[in-house]
Amino acid sequence: MKVQVNEGVLAYMEADAVPEAQGSTNPMGPDGPQSRNSVVICQTVGQSIFTSSVSSAAGRVGFLLQKDEGKEASCPVLFIQLNELFSTPDGLQWKQTARWIKFEEKVEDGGERWSKPHITALSLHSLFELRTCIKKGTVLLDLDAHSLKQIVEKVIATQMDAHVLRPEVRKKLTSVLLRTPQHHTTKSQLRIVAELGAACCRDKARKRSDPGTEISEAPLKEQLKNQFQKKIPAEAEVSNILVGEVDFLEKPFIAFIRLQEAVGLGALTEVAFPSRFLFILLGPRAKVKAYHEIGRAVATVLTDELFQRVACQAQDREDLIAGIDEFLDELTVLPPGKWDPTIRISPPKCLPSPHKRISIHRREWKSHCNGNVSAADDRHTHGHQPVSEELQRTGRLFGGLVKDIRRKVPWYWSDFYEALNIQCFSATVYIYLATVTNAITFGGMLGDATDNMQGVLESFLGTAIAGAVFCLFAGQPLTILSSTGPVLVFERLLFSFSKDYSLDYLEFRLWIGLWVAFFGLILVATEASYLVQYFTRFTEEGFCALISFIFIYDAVKKMLSLADNFPINWDYKINDVTLYGCICNSSGTGNASMLTEMLLPPLGSAGMQQGLEAANWSLLTRTECLRVGGHLVGNSCNYMPDITFMAFILFLGTFLCSMTLKSFKTSRYFPTALRKLVSDFSIILAILIFCGIDAILGLETPKLIVPSEFKPTNSQRGWVVFPFGLNPWWVCLVSTVPAVLVIILIFMDQQITAVILNRKEYRLQKGAGFHLDLFCVSLLMILTSVTGLPWYVSATVISLAHMDSLKKESTTSAPGDQPKFLGIREQRLTGLVVFILTGVSVFLAPVLKYIPMPVLYGVFLYMGVAALNSIQLMDRIQLLLMPAKHQPDFMYLRHVPLRRVHLFTLIQMLCLAALWILKSTVAAIIFPVMLLALVGIRKAMECIFSQQDLSWLDDIMPEKDRKEEEEKLQSSQEEESDSEDSEFMYQEKGPEINISVN
């Protein structure tokens, strides 16, 4: 739609622009015959073609925001309530009809419930009327008053001094404004049920109550017990809007008041918070609908963060009008007849940052004052993220390590007492079970690959020692150390090489580990971790996807192997049920004496005389039959009817239950606190539910087996590996070759995981420790190599699960607004307790043996899928299968052609496939080199893609946080690194208001 105006209006706009620019007064006066709409149009177009680049309204707003710069906390959250005056059989009475924090809630027509939060839909005429009210009404800024009675008296006195109000209506007006309002307070479910029985009495009492009672200056009991207060921040303030019609006024009584100090106004407000703003509109009868719409317009304008700051800093009436004009400047109008105004628009899941709008206004004002209006117009490209402080080189040996230690020491004690939260208990149990499962899984695979030179017990012991030491001294204690798939591949190849060339595996491995530790310390000393800045999203997502697929693949592979151990009788026929059976038969070489001991009653019993006649082979169990040398005969001897299917039910049930309960906090059912508690304990609840189902059914599903004795898995080895004696002397030199491959693998694995965990999206406050983490891992390589324990490095998937289980969200959120992500509970205690429990799990075998392995494999599957869902690669893979009209509105799709997005995705998929093939074949020895090659491939892609495309497709910041990026940057940084999407949203504010003026 276009802005359609007639020639007369255009002529007036042009004529009006000149005196406004020169600072003169309109010769026709504010009450002249000109069209009010044309004035509003002229002033609300911030970038008018008939005026300078910055209008007077924008100039005022920019000046006020510039004064407010550096006082981000000076404008608290506003709770806004609308009270309307109704005529009842007992007289006039104020009733609350709506409220706002960010979105509107109405009292439904029945008067017993609040509506769902929704975006306010206003008529444009109501905003014009509001502007006129502010222009012609009484405006009192920084009024010194401490009660509603004082406010009303001063407002009436001001209007009487200005001869706007007749003296004879003073008493009536005061009486009306000081009447006690009726609020619709939010009550708990239990309170509502308790009041149902007393409904009749309550109705009678309400009928007997006098609506003309003067308002109480102290908060009422129902205000103090209002459950809605929990959703409002403690430092919030109230804005009261009073509108209605009376029969003793001939023209509207209008007042906008800003109090000098926020004060409590007793029973006026629904919640017991101090009030800052008041807007009063009382007028003649027959215009109640207009008063209602103007009241909603005031409330909506006050919910705007930009206008709130203008209202807090305004010095006079013109500043408020300028704020309304800027509000109109950013307004988007829906055309009539193209939508249903009765439909309530649901709040969006993500809102643009208000700080961005404010910073744009400040920058435009600075640019205008400096004569450099186009400064903000030249930055259209999305810049690359600056290098973080943790990765800046010092140029000194171990300089980065020293900086990491200095950065982490002040936070060390808080890393323990900040863990005193129930969420940390949930995270501890969850990660403990995941770590134990991982230790058993990789321990078993290591045992198979190394002839039990490293088995389950070594895996438990190494995980406990290495993990606990790392959590105590690392720079990022939220990292979980574990054996990983790439390290397991190298261990298998190393054992095969040692066996083929008659070398002692543990001694050869010791020298490799010592060289790896030496190379790692060199990397720490030379601050090689600064190379992490070249690990872009392309590299991170490739590695993270690989590890996630390994988790998913191992979980599914373990479950499919159950079909071999517990075969399914696919040839079962219900008609042949009488033919199925299995008995124990003598092989002719069986141990008759043992058989007799099993089957004969105890000596001296009544059945002793039966002797060997009781020794019937058919009475033996399967285990007893095999022990005495018998063999099983029958076509159902290898048939275990329910184990495999039950295991898959436990496996998939645990996975689906974990996914469902994790997302339960966004459900519509039950109170917020309960939903959050269920979400925090989702994994534990899923495990308990399906462990209970398994126990009730009593099937012999495979259970968790924990070593019960503290001794090496292979009796031929000890707890200390000596460097000399079993291998030739030159092995210590040759070990440098595989050590180079291992240090590449360790460095890439450790640092890619560290980069993922230290993303800005997690809002970590205590900083990273890339150098310190690598230093700890290098020292632990010495310890685990000398003791013959597995090598440990950061486990990407389990570490991401650990971070996800420790996310903090705001406890107070406006109705309709999503809880804000506040960061991660950064502490050392959860990881430390997890690894201590892993170490003592040997003594918990009697309890852990009741946990079915399929349940833990379901947790593995959940962690792998959850990690995959956190990367942009999966979103882009889904785009390959979607028609364009059904594709989500991702920000990079607005700036990069779809075919370029698909090409980028296909290259990533090919690299991921290459990594998987290398890992699974004899070429796995070059797997570390291929990881390093990902960085080179990403660099080569600059020949295919433009920098603009890569800046959107290959950015460390996730898509959902790009819009909030500017909240974290200082105003000085915004001038250099604004993101294009935010700049595009608020830059060059043209006339978006589509108005037709006839």
Which DSSP category does 853 fall into? H
- For the stretch 909-937, pLDDT in tens is 998 898 888 877 766 667 777 777 888 88
Cβ-Cβ contacts under 8 Å for 859 (sequence gap 6 or more): 433, 434, 437, 654, 655, 658, 683, 686, 687
Whether 842 has a pLDDT exceeding 70, the answer reads yes
Packing angle, helices 853-869 and 643-662, rounded to 10: 40
Per-residue pLDDT, 131: 92
- As a whole-number percent, the residues of the chain with pLDDT over 90 amount to 11
Cβ-Cβ contacts under 8 Å for 941 (sequence gap 6 or more): 538, 904, 907, 950
Per-residue pLDDT, 54: 53
Which DSSP category does 881 fall into? T
**Cβ-based burial of 44 (10 A; exposed 0-12, middle 13-18, buried ≥19):** buried
Question: 3-class SS at 26?
Answer: coil
Given the DSSP bridges, would you call strands 78-88 and 237-245 parallel, antiparallel or unpaired? parallel
Packing angle, helices 853-869 and 796-804, rounded to 10: 80
Per-residue pLDDT, 701: 84
Q: Each residue of 955-980: b (16+ CB within 10 Å) or e?
A: bbbeeebbbbbbeebebeebbeebbb
Packing angle, helices 485-500 and 736-757, rounded to 10: 170
Q: How far is CA 862 from the centre of its chain?
A: 17
Per-residue pLDDT, 71: 53
- For the stretch 948-973, pLDDT in tens is 888 888 854 334 444 444 344 444 44
Residue 784, number of CB atoms within 10 A of its CB: 23
CA 676/CA 840 separation, integer angstroms: 31
Cα distances (angstroms) measured from residue 271 to each of 99, 100, 240, 274, 471: 11, 12, 11, 9, 46
Q: Between the ranges 24-33, 133-142, 189-198, where is the mean pLDDT highest?
A: 133-142
Section 832-837 average pLDDT? 91
Per-residue pLDDT, 930: 77
Instruction: With 0.85 as the threshold, say if the pTM is over it.
Output: no
Whether 733 has a pLDDT exceeding 70, the answer reads yes
Cβ-Cβ contacts under 8 Å for 131 (sequence gap 6 or more): 40, 321, 324, 325
Per-residue pLDDT, 816: 63
Two structure tokens written together for 921: 């074949």
Confidence of residue 212 (pLDDT cuts 50, 70, 90): low
Residue 518, number of CB atoms within 10 A of its CB: 16
CB 347 within 8 A of CB 103: yes
Section 10-35 average pLDDT? 35
Name the residue with higher pLDDT: 701 or 377.
701
Cβ-Cβ contacts under 8 Å for 624 (sequence gap 6 or more): 584, 598
Per-residue pLDDT, 536: 80
Two structure tokens written together for 611: 């002797």
Amino acid identity at 173: L
CA 406/CA 399 separation, integer angstroms: 11
23: left (phi over 0), alpha (psi -120 to 50) or beta: left
Per-residue pLDDT, 992: 33
Whether 26 has a pLDDT exceeding 60, the answer reads no
Per-residue pLDDT, 196: 52
Residue 760, number of CB atoms within 10 A of its CB: 15
Name 82's bridge partners: 98, 241
- For the stretch 518-573, pLDDT in tens is 999 999 998 888 887 777 888 888 888 888 888 888 888 888 888 777 777 676 67
Given the DSSP bridges, would you call strands 631-633 and 793-794 parallel, antiparallel or unpaired? unpaired
Give me the DSSP letters along 115-130. Answer: PPPBB----HHHHHHH
CA 755/CA 532 separation, integer angstroms: 7
- For the stretch 288-344, pLDDT in tens is 788 999 999 999 999 988 888 888 888 889 989 988 988 888 888 888 888 887 888
Confidence of residue 277 (pLDDT cuts 50, 70, 90): very high
Supply φ then ψ for residue 824, to 5 degrees: -120, 145
Per-residue pLDDT, 486: 75
Section 847-870 average pLDDT? 83
Name 107's bridge partners: 114
Name the residue with higher pLDDT: 313 or 350.
313
Section 767-785 average pLDDT? 89
CA 582/CA 569 separation, integer angstroms: 14
Residue 248, number of CB atoms within 10 A of its CB: 13
Which DSSP category does 576 fall into? G
Mean per-residue pLDDT over the chain, rounded: 76
Cβ-Cβ contacts under 8 Å for 260 (sequence gap 6 or more): 142, 143, 144
Which secondary-structure segment (H or E) carries 621? none
Confidence of residue 197 (pLDDT cuts 50, 70, 90): low
Section 824-831 average pLDDT? 89
CA 656/CA 526 separation, integer angstroms: 47
- For the stretch 507-521, pLDDT in tens is 888 899 999 999 999
Whether 265 has a pLDDT exceeding 70, the answer reads yes
Please list the alpha-helical segments (H only) found in 581-671: 592-599, 622-627, 643-662
- For the stretch 137-188, pLDDT in tens is 999 999 998 888 899 999 999 988 888 888 888 888 988 888 888 887 765 5
Two structure tokens written together for 25: 């007064």
